[in-house]
Structure 1
Amino acid sequence: MEFNDLKIFQTVAKYGSVSKAALELNYVQSNVTARIKLLEKELRTPLFYRHKRGMTLNPEGKRLLEQSRVILSGIEEMKRTFQDKSNPSGVLEIGIVETVMALPDILASYYSKYPNVELSLKAGVTDLLVQQVIDMKLDGAFVTGPIKHPLIEQVEVIQEKMVLVTKEKSFSIEEMTKKPLLLYKKGCGYRERLESWMKAEGIIPKQIMEFGTFGTIIGSVAAGIGITIIPESSITDMVANGTVFCHSVPEPYHEITTIFIRRKDSYITSTLQCFMDEIVARTRLEHE
């Protein structure tokens, strides 16, 4: 069995299609099909249910998928231990909540120093990103903190002020019972703050509309559809030109801390270490 066969298997499992996997891997379809059949022969068991719409993992396939992730993750970690510490390279997969205003400065500085690193940014809500770091699907992530988990190591990046944002200049707390709340999906730290505040005040919202991106949420607020809660720094320009208006959030719900997390027991590659050094340097500048 070759390690590449496991990569082919994972790709077919991901897309549920030999043709899509072949396209992703830049292989001919017959080669992908042959490698899957060889893998099944070596393991002496089918790994997929085959049907007209493609291929779906059977129980044995699901079992191999989990084991292959562990194997390939171990191989990648072994390779990273031999990287040139002074000239990191490779792929660094980082998760982000969409309104981390400190991120562009960190990225710009990091890119200028380490051009051989390929940064892959994946947006999501805090709970999802934390789980992906724990599962070692991400090298690290910017999330809303603090996070209490025995496998998580964290460093504070920035503290920000949370505000309610509306289309109208005037606002009263009763508005949250009259207009929809435009929020990220469950697991978002901003949403958790707002829901905790509403629970303490005994407020029942009229409706919660879930969105996946910051642009969609703030665009919908600007269109007068509803109300949202986000860090004040993320909408400075829109407030300045009168597109939307900010309204204060009371203590203890008005501050949010963005942290960078990594799995505590995972090997720190030179690529990740240099990235974390940039975060620390940025944090020091903020406090000087």
Structure 2
Amino acid sequence: MDISLLQTFRSAAESGSISKAAQMLNYAQSNVTAKIKQLEAELQTPLFYRHNRGITLTPAGQTLLTYAEQVLRLLDEARKAVRDTDSPAGPLSVGSMETAAAVRLPAFLANYHRQYPNVDLILKTGPTEELIEAVLSYALEGAFVAGPVRHPELMQERVVEERLVMVTAASQTSTTSADLARTRAILVFRGGCTYRAVLKHWLLEEGIVPVKIMEFGNLDAILGCVAAGLGVSLLPESLAASKASAEGLIRIHAIPERHRTVETVFIYRKDAYYSPAFQAFVAAFKTHSF
């Protein structure tokens, strides 16, 4: 089976359109149509339903897409393995929770870059669930997430244990964290964030119904709104303490001990190809003091 047929098929399946697939691949539309027909003839089954909105995978097409993605991924890994030298270089894509990226990673990433300047490091931030899915789908080579993570296809390395605290505006008078959660708006990251899940579990346990839950896309927005008195949030103490002491805009409040700790772990696939850049990255964070 011709690899170019699989590449064309995957592009058409992902875009849901022959014309969009042609644009992605820089092909003529007729060329994409011909390649798909050639593949269907070779497999003796239709791979797409054609309709006025574009194309949709048939059951056979859905099955083939799974295998096509595996074949193309393995081919890409083979190219990397052949090109790689013993010296770490080239692209490296990893992910991290925003809080870890803000506090735990800057010094480590700076040291890694100084040691391996030929590595093109890409860091993507997001909530834990989103990052786990990205690693599972090979979109990221690894990620710093809240743990523990138990999945048969993943390895995990413990990085650090975080203590969670409630943060409020500096002007907030002293009171219990439960009272604060009961009377203030709760500011959280989007769904999939472990800190949000911990907060939700704690509030359910206390029988607290928040007056309002407000969702934010990044850490700076949450901190800015907390400092302005819009509401309260649950964040790692290491981050909150640095902001409280440096800017004096937020106040820290303890939460119940049973909900106070969460691990940060680094996850990666068991079956992925580990480039020299990735191997050096893992070795470096194992010896780094976070």
TM superposition score normalised by structure 1 = 0.82
1: distance between equivalents of 2:21 and 2:43? 21
Q: SS at 1:82's partner residue?
A: helix
Residues 223 and 89 of structure 1: CA distance in aligned 2, closer, same or farther (over 3 Å): same
CA offsets 1:165-189 (integer angstroms, 9 cap, x no match): 2234224322312333222244322
Unaligned runs of 5+ in 2: none
2:260 aligned with 1:254, yes or no? Answer: yes
CA offsets 1:200-247 (integer angstroms, 9 cap, x no match): 433232333333332343344344332211123335346632433322
Amino acid in structure 2 at the alignment position of 1:71: V
Sequence identity percentage: 42
Residue pair 1:47, 1:61 contacting (<8 A) in 2 also: yes
**1:274 CA displacement:** 1.1
Unaligned runs of 5+ in 1: none
CA RMSD of aligned residues (A): 2.9
2: distance between equivalents of 1:267 and 1:112? 24
Residues 36 and 112 of structure 1: CA distance in aligned 2, closer, same or farther (over 3 Å): farther
The answer for the alignment partner of 1:39 in structure 2 is 39
TM superposition score normalised by structure 2 = 0.82
Q: SS at 2:249's partner residue?
A: coil
Amino acid in structure 1 at the alignment position of 2:17: S
Q: SS at 1:246's partner residue?
A: strand
1: distance between equivalents of 2:121 and 2:27? 25
CA offsets 1:138-158 (integer angstroms, 9 cap, x no match): 321110112233433222223
CA offsets 1:90-118 (integer angstroms, 9 cap, x no match): 43332221111222233333333434433
The answer for the alignment partner of 1:175 in structure 2 is 180
Instruction: Tell me which moved more, 111-120 or 174-183.
Output: 111-120
The answer for the alignment partner of 1:125 in structure 2 is 127
Residue pair 2:84, 2:275 contacting (<8 A) in 1 also: no
**1:276 CA displacement:** 0.5
2: distance between equivalents of 1:260 and 1:275? 11
The answer for the alignment partner of 1:195 in structure 2 is 200
2:276 aligned with 1:270, yes or no? Answer: yes
Residue pair 1:239, 1:246 contacting (<8 A) in 2 also: no
Residue pair 2:97, 2:126 contacting (<8 A) in 1 also: yes
Instruction: Tell me which moved more, 70-79 or 140-149.
Output: 70-79
2:216 aligned with 1:214, yes or no? Answer: no
